[in-house]
Amino acid sequence: MLSQKVSEELREIVGEEDYLSGPEDLMAYSYDAYLPDALPDAVVFPTSTEEVSSVMKVAYREEIPVTPRGAGTNIVGGTLPLRGGIVLCLTKMNRILEVNPEDRYAVVEPGVVNGDLQKEAAKYGLFYPPDPASLNVSTIGGNVAENAGGPRGVKYGVTRDYLLGLTVVLADGRVIHTGGKTTKNVTGYDLTGLFCGSEGTLGIVTSITVKLIAKPEAQKSIQAIFETLDGAGKAVSSIMASGIVPVALELMDSTVMKLIEESHRIGLPIDAEGLLLIQVDGSKDSVEREAQRVAQFCRENGAREIRVSREAKDEEILWFARRTAFGVMARARPNCIVEDVTVPVSKLPAMVREITELAARHRVTVGVLAHAGDGNMHPLILFDKRDREEMERVEKFTEDLFSKAVELGGTLSGEHGIGLAKERFLNMVMTPETREVLRQIKKSLDPKGILNPGKFV
Ligand SMILES: Cc1cc2nc3c(=O)[nH]c(=O)nc-3n(C[C@H](O)[C@H](O)[C@H](O)COP(=O)(O)OP(=O)(O)OC[C@H]3O[C@@H](n4cnc5c(N)ncnc54)[C@H](O)[C@@H]3O)c2cc1C
């Protein structure tokens, strides 16, 4: 519990209406999209860098843990206040401060929702590519802290690729600025890159300058249905080896298709093993040519049905299944965990086979979605956490899943981060020496260990 003096100080900094400590309010900030929960002692909603800095000065002086929070959509327990203290929620810092079409950048506060930035950029004919499936809810601050990606990652990369500069409040309340507004910048260490993906453990991001790019003239999507997952996997390899760089190359297995079909009746096959959804963009001519070549690669690898979008309306129809997949899966059983293992793209077919075999061996229900073009798999594990025996099988499945991914040259997470969920598996991919370097970085920026304690460092 916070002392009377501290809670009065915090109220004074953020204002009475931006300080919560009632039991029902604390409960609302005790969980995210992962499984466990943990209660904070207070939740504050600062509205400026100065307020964040003042809150941190109090927390640092009193050694109170602080957990930064955006929309709370992370899937790794990243916003759980494991040691109580203050949840510092940035959703009220939600202004788009500048869009500069001439130099193609935007400056935003951390609580801006990704989709809102995309819409604002589009008004200027510009494009902010990082597109996590949570884009209508998740914040740019949360995206930076997790280095979020999305389907467009194959061609356009992830959040880090669009960061030009940050304003960051350190654990002791000092404010620093990293990077700048230019696309090229090698002035000193890459601190912007360091804070990106640091999951709220090194500092609190209060302003973000992102690069915007020109919006492509045209785009097309291709949906291909495969009898076998193997065929779908081989089509992925053929497309990626051909020199075409698709915007997105998504894979869905039969478990996911069946559940979507049960919920929405949109005509997905329930007897096929795999579906690929591929998007290409560029000039009108190149898009037409590439769409035809992609369709050909799918046919050559056994696609039994292919649909190509002709207009914007068709795009929406083809993408509906992909966008709705998480929600449908999450409703199918009381609990759902989305894993995020990533393998070299040539190992995708092998990893898909491994997941299917492991699910059968451990008797666990698993649907597979994948950003197949960059080897980033999302096995969705469905279960009931009240069933201990089932939980044990889920645990074993998860452990084997990570081992297999690493064995195939892959890693634990492509875009969701480590947080609490994968901390115990970090040794699979990091030597003690590497982990020690993480700890040293953490210690130099947060010597009292008050920022998001209990997470991966
Ligand atoms: C349905 C669904 C679909 C998803 N799809 C994708 C996807 O396609 N790709 C993907 O990458 N992720 C995806 N995610 C995961 C999640 O949406 C992302 O990790 C997102 O970036 C989190 O943003 P948020 O605003 O919710 O942050 P939160 O969950 O609130 O926080 C995430 C982490 O960032 C830290 N943090 C938040 N704001 C700040 C800040 N200003 N400064 C410092 N640290 C901060 C927190 O402490 C925490 O560790 C999905 C989640 C769901 C529920």
Locate the domains of the chain by residue range: 4-89, 96-214, 216-326, 333-427
3-state helix, strand, coil in the chain (%, to 5): 40, 20, 40
* Nearest protein Cα to ligand 1, atom 18: 74
How many C-beta atoms surround the C-beta of residue 155 within 10 A? 20
Same fold, 4-89 and 96-214: no
> Given a cut of 90, is residue 456 above it in pLDDT?
no
- Decide: residue 22, CB within 10 A, 0-12 exposed, 13-18 middle, 19+ buried: exposed
CATH class of the domain whose range is 333-427: alpha beta
**How large is the average pLDDT for residues 389-403?**
97
Domain 96-214 matching CATH 3.90.1150.10: the answer reads: no
Task: Report how far ligand 1's centroid is from the alpha carbon of 200 (Å).
Answer: 11
Q: Among 52-56, 333-337, 349-353, name the one with the lowest average pLDDT.
A: 349-353
Distance CA 147, CA 149 (A): 7
How many C-beta atoms surround the C-beta of residue 422 within 10 A? 22
CATH class of the domain whose range is 4-89: alpha beta
Pocket lined around ligand 1, Cβ cut-off 6 Å? 32-33, 67-75, 78-79, 90, 110, 132-134, 138-139, 141-143, 145-146, 148-150, 199-200, 204-205, 326, 415-416, 452
Domain 216-326 matching CATH 3.90.1200.10: the answer reads: no
> Given a cut of 90, is residue 117 above it in pLDDT?
yes
pLDDT in tens, 43-84: 999 999 999 999 999 999 999 999 999 999 999 999 999 999
- Render 254-299 in DSSP notation, one character per residue: HHHHHHHHHHH-----SS-SEEEEEEEEESHHHHHHHHHHHHHHHH
What pLDDT is recorded for position 349? 87
* Nearest protein Cα to ligand 1, atom 27: 142
**How large is the average pLDDT for residues 104-127?**
97
CB 419 within 8 A of CB 456: yes
- The Cα-based distances of 170 to 9, 109, 112, 261, 418 in angstroms read 19, 16, 21, 48, 21
> Given a cut of 90, is residue 275 above it in pLDDT?
yes
